[in-house]
Every structure is written in C-alpha cells, then in structure tokens.
C-alpha cells in the first residue's frame, strides 16, 4: 500500500473525511471539503457529478485509485468518493 493510502487510513481513524456521493456534494456546497478522492472505476454519472461540483467549488479531485484501493485504505466496502474535511490532513495527503 502506498503512502497516500496509508495516510488516508490515518485520516479515517481521526474522522478527517466523509464518504458517499450525496454527502460529499452536500459538504462541498457548504465549503467543508478540501480535497476529493474519486475512484477511477466509478460510474460515468458519478464521475461527472463529482467533477462538476468540484470544479464549481474549486476543489481538487484525485482519481489515482480504484474503489477497492480506497475501500481497503479506509476499512469500509464499496467506497467511490471520499472528501477530506480537515485541512491538516490535506497537507499530509498531498506530500
């Protein structure tokens, strides 16, 4: 497992992110998401929705990982979208 995925696991244990399409979109609209991990194997509709919202709210989207990699990193199943909600973790994840 690479360093970013390991740090994503740490972020999860500290409650530093949210997951789920609707929840991430809701938090984006309220300015509480600073970075998004979008599974590269998510559906086209999911990708379009998240990319458009992220572009509108000027939030970077990382599509480097599959849903199985993201799910394994955070210890939950079938995770397509993760939104980082704490700026401190953003610095760690982008190293």
Give 46-90 pLDDT, tens digit per residue.
999 999 999 999 999 999 999 999 999 888 889 999 999 988 887
User: Which pTM does this prediction carry?
Assistant: 0.91
pLDDT over 90 percentage in the chain: 64
d(CA 36, CA 22): 13
């Amino acid at each position: 497992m690479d360093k970013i995925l390991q740090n994503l696991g740490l972020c999860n244990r500290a409650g530093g992110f949210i997951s789920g399409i609707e929840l991430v979109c809701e938090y984006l609209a309220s300015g509480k998401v600073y970075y998004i991990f979008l599974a590269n194997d998510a559906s086209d509709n999911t990708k379009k929705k998240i990319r458009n919202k992220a572009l509108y709210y000027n939030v970077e989207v990382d599509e480097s990982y599959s849903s199985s990699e993201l799910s394994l990193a955070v210890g939950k199943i079938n995770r397509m979208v993760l939104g980082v909600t704490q700026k401190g973790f953003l610095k760690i994840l982008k190293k």
